[in-house]
Amino acid sequence: MNKEKVVVVGMGYIGLPTSLALTNGGIDVVGYDLDARKIETLKKGQLTFKEDGLMDLFEEAKKKGISFTSNIKDLVNENFFIISVPTPYDKDSKKIDPSYVVSAFSSIYSICPEGSIIVIESTISPGTIDKTVRPLVKEKHVNLVHCPERIIPGNMVYELKHNSRTIGADDAEIGERVKKVYSSFCEGNIVITSIKVAEMTKVVENTFRDINIAYANELVKICEKAGVDVYEVIRISNAHPRVNILQPGPGVGGHCISVDPWFLVGDYPMEANLIKQARLINDSMPEYVLTRVSKVAEKNNISFDRIGIYGLTYKENVDDFRESPSLQMLEFRQQTCSKSFVSFDPMLETKIVEGQEMDFKTFLSKVDLVIVMQNHKHLLDNKNLLKGKIVFDTKNCLDIDGVYKY
263 binds ligand SAJ (CB under 6 A): no
Which uninterrupted H or E stretch holds 103? helix 99-111
38 is catalytic: no
202 is catalytic: yes
Minimum distance from residue 121 beta carbon to ligand SAJ (Å):
10
Nearest to 287 by CA among 345, 335, 225: 335
Nearest to 166 by CA among 148, 178, 188: 148
| Number of residues counted as binding ligand SAJ (CB under 6 A) | 20
Q: Is the dihedral of CA 144, 147, 148, 152 positive or negative?
A: negative
Minimum distance from residue 305 beta carbon to ligand SAJ (Å):
27
Q: Is 308 helix (H, G, I), strand (E, B) or coil?
A: strand
Q: Is 355 helix (H, G, I), strand (E, B) or coil?
A: coil
Minimum distance from residue 99 beta carbon to ligand SAJ (Å):
19
Amino acid (one-letter) located at 121: E
Q: For residue 3, report the phi and psi dihedrals to the nearest 5 degrees.
A: -60, 130
- CA 70/CA 177 separation, integer angstroms: 27
Of 152-171, binders to ligand SAJ (CB under 6 A) are: 152-153
- CA 169/CA 195 separation, integer angstroms: 5
Nearest to 257 by CA among 212, 222, 302: 212
- CA 214/CA 121 separation, integer angstroms: 27
Q: Is 189 helix (H, G, I), strand (E, B) or coil?
A: coil
Minimum distance from residue 110 beta carbon to ligand SAJ (Å):
28
The 314-333 contact track toward ligand SAJ, x by CB under 6 A, reads: xx------------------
246 binds ligand SAJ (CB under 6 A): yes
209 binds ligand SAJ (CB under 6 A): yes
- Selected from 7, 256, 347, 398, the binder of ligand SAJ by CB under 6 A is 256
Minimum distance from residue 260 beta carbon to ligand SAJ (Å):
7
- Selected from 33, 149, 199, 357, the binder of ligand SAJ by CB under 6 A is 149
Contact window for ligand SAJ (CB under 6 A) among 20-28, 106-114, 203-211, 378-386: 203-211
Residue numbers at the binding site for ligand SAJ (CB under 6 A): 123, 149-153, 205-206, 209, 213, 246-247, 249, 252-254, 256-257, 314-315
**Catalytic positions, please?**
202, 256
